[in-house]
Structure 1
Amino acid sequence: MDNNTINFQLSLDPFFIPSGARYPIFFFGLVIYLFCISCNMTLIGLIIMKRNLHKPMYFILFSLPLNDLIGITAMLPKVLSDILTDTSQVYYPLCVLQGFLLHMYGGGVLFILAAMAFDRYLAICSPLHYSSVMTPKIVATIIAIVWGLDFFLILVLFALQARLPLCRSEIMNVFCDNPSLLKLTCGNTFINNIIGLLNTALMQIISISIQVFSYVKILITCLVSRRNEARSKAINTCVAQLVILFIFEIVGTFTILSHRFQNVSLDLQKIMGMLIFLVPPILNPIVYGLNTHEIRSNLFGRHTKVSA
């Protein structure tokens, strides 16, 4: 096997698609991508343009659609291009970049949701101190920690992978990720597997523990609160974030389980792997738009005025 081919050009394992279904699948995927882009860009645009959304909650929320755009853009256009052109080649550096961005997306979802839960905890459980605690400096620090910690953990993962020699050139997936890249190596991957598991566990523990603490405190506060309006607003906001978390965790669990059963077809495993980068970016802006009053009123403000 030519060493240059191993280092710079890899082959992906494409879907089996009948020739007559190639264009319908491509256009269906393109519609999904454009819909996702428009929804997330709308949410980003609202937060930037509307001054009444210039609050700590929405500055932190801004990271969620941005992260969703990174995830779906790193994965779907390449898959659609391969379907349309019937090719399955990728240069090694681009494969590493794609895998890095996809793992950044996964960790970003967990850390962003944790930051949003902490913000809601302060706003609902300590409303009198909220403005003094959530200053612009503190909000910027929280956002920097979210992205910085995510970047550092994924960088360590891929730096460990880069030190291993390559001896294979076929990625057994339709996109690149760290497990697929590790299968190309012929060195000892024990440390990589341990660090990968520790990274995943650390991300989950940090995110879930912060969210469980925050939502338990919020639930207790809502139960003892006598203000029905405030309680309803708090519950609606938290429900949106919990729905987003459940969507991500359920899709992620199905993805992991699909690779643990030998009787699951390879194409189904690939589809399940893609869902984690498709379902949350599509549903997140919709869920948040429908369950957050301020976003909904800004989005449909003209219609509300006309009906009034």
Structure 2
Amino acid sequence: MEQKLFLGKSTSFLFGTLTYLVIMFCNLLVLTTIACTAKLHKPMFILLFNLPISDMLGATALFPQLVYSIVTQNRLISLPACVIQALLVHTYGGGNLLTLTAMAYDRYIAICCPLKYNAIMNPHTLVKMIVSIWSISISLIVVQLSLLARLKICRTNVIDLYCNNPSIVKLTCDDTRVNNYYGLFTIFICQAGPLSVILYTYAQILRTCVMNDQSNARKKAIQTCGTHLVIYFVLEFSAFIALIAHRIKIVSPYIRRALGVTILVIPPFFDPIIYGLKTKELKTGIKMFFKINVGL
């Protein structure tokens, strides 16, 4: 029995550690390639640059604490560490959704308004979009955690596999109506708003391709939009169900935990692979990066 427990513990430790290292390596590779390749200093890739930053925040929020818990067989976490973990988790979630939304808008302008692309997606616009992405993501969760600071913590059992705002709220004994109302507001800002933009922009992209009646253009647009939408809807669906599940008691906690882990594992793992392999310019940039720096 002890041997089986040790084997299971070792396997979980290795799997968690390797997954985290792969996520960090792939995302750092995308970051470095975009930063060091002059040909990639375009609006699309400058916006994409924010995605691996967000993904690394999400992976760092989950894996180090998870691996530590596996090694020590102890899920204890201090309140300050729990708050930091929640800050990273929600910043990652907001950052990812808003970055994907900005990228969808960029593709919409490129395909539907190509003659106006350079005028609209100028450096000034890019700076405003990037500042907005991170300002909204960070400010929303900082306000949430500030609202938590006024409440008395009277429980110690975090109901999820990692700390987030809803799970910390459930540790309090005071009236949490203000927190819940603000939580619903943040769900709308970070999910309903971006979802509306995503649906509109891709509907217009597909409409433009159909009207142009160009099979190659339509195929390219569908390929670009398809992978983008898959990643977006995995994150959107999982995050929405996981957050709403905290407010609906009949939902199984196991479903909420599974979706919660999916949010922090699937996009960070697959984003650099999808964009690295599906985007021709980035794929070429990565090959050149290895050729110059590694000698392959």
Change (3 A) 1:140 1:302: closer
Distance in 2 between residues matched to 1:269 and 1:214, nearest whole Å:
30
The superposition leaves residues 103-142 of structure 1 with CA deviations (integer Å, 9 ceiling, x where unpaired) of: 1111112111111111111111111111111111110111
Partner of 1:135: 122
The 5 Å alignment of 1:109-124 reads 109-124=96-111
What do you get for the CA RMSD once the two structures are aligned?
2.4
Distance in 1 between residues matched to 2:193 and 2:238, nearest whole Å:
19
Distance in 2 between residues matched to 1:247 and 1:225, nearest whole Å:
30
What is the SS of the residue equivalent to 1:171? coil
Gaps of 5+ in 1: 1-16
Distance in 1 between residues matched to 2:190 and 2:258, nearest whole Å:
24
Structure 1 residue 88: deviation in Å? Answer: 2.1
Distance in 2 between residues matched to 1:91 and 1:48, nearest whole Å:
37
Determine if the alignment matches structure 1 residue 48 to structure 2 residue 38.
Answer: no
The 5 Å alignment of 1:11-160 reads 18-160=5-147
Task: Report the TM-score when normalising by structure 1.
Answer: 0.85
Distance in 1 between residues matched to 2:69 and 2:173, nearest whole Å:
27
Determine if the alignment matches structure 1 residue 187 to structure 2 residue 187.
Answer: no
Partner of 1:205: 192
Task: Report the TM-score when normalising by structure 2.
Answer: 0.89
Change (3 A) 1:193 1:35: same
Partner of 2:152: 165
What is the SS of the residue equivalent to 2:77? strand
Change (3 A) 1:139 1:303: closer
CA contact (8 A) 1:165 1:186 kept: yes
Structure 1 residue 302: deviation in Å? Answer: 9.2
Change (3 A) 1:48 1:35: same
Change (3 A) 1:212 1:272: closer
Q: Which 10-residue stretch deviates more, 191-200 or 242-251? A: 242-251
CA contact (8 A) 1:258 1:272 kept: no
For 2:236, the aligned partner's letter is E
Determine if the alignment matches structure 1 residue 216 to structure 2 residue 220.
Answer: no
Q: 1:280 pairs with 267, 274, 281, which one? A: 267
What is the SS of the residue equivalent to 2:223? helix
Structure 1 residue 220: deviation in Å? Answer: 1.0
For 1:155, the aligned partner's letter is V
Change (3 A) 1:86 1:187: same
CA contact (8 A) 1:243 1:287 kept: no
Structure 1 residue 210: deviation in Å? Answer: 1.0
What is the SS of the residue equivalent to 1:297? helix
Change (3 A) 1:226 1:204: same
CA contact (8 A) 2:191 2:236 kept: no
Partner of 1:13: none
Q: Which 10-residue stretch deviates more, 282-291 or 245-254? A: 245-254
For 2:191, the aligned partner's letter is Q
Structure 1 residue 262: deviation in Å? Answer: 5.2
What is the SS of the residue equivalent to 1:170? coil
Distance in 1 between residues matched to 2:165 and 2:240, nearest whole Å:
18
Q: Which 10-residue stretch deviates more, 35-44 or 85-94? A: 85-94
Distance in 2 between residues matched to 1:282 and 1:162, nearest whole Å:
33
Gaps of 5+ in 2: 292-296
What is the SS of the residue equivalent to 1:252? helix
For 1:38, the aligned partner's letter is F
For 1:66, the aligned partner's letter is I
Q: May I ask how many residue pairs the two structures share in their alignment?
A: 287
Distance in 1 between residues matched to 2:258 and 2:71, nearest whole Å:
17
For 1:183, the aligned partner's letter is K
For 2:30, the aligned partner's letter is L
Structure 1 residue 297: deviation in Å? Answer: 2.6
Q: 2:234 pairs with 247, 253, 257, which one? A: 247
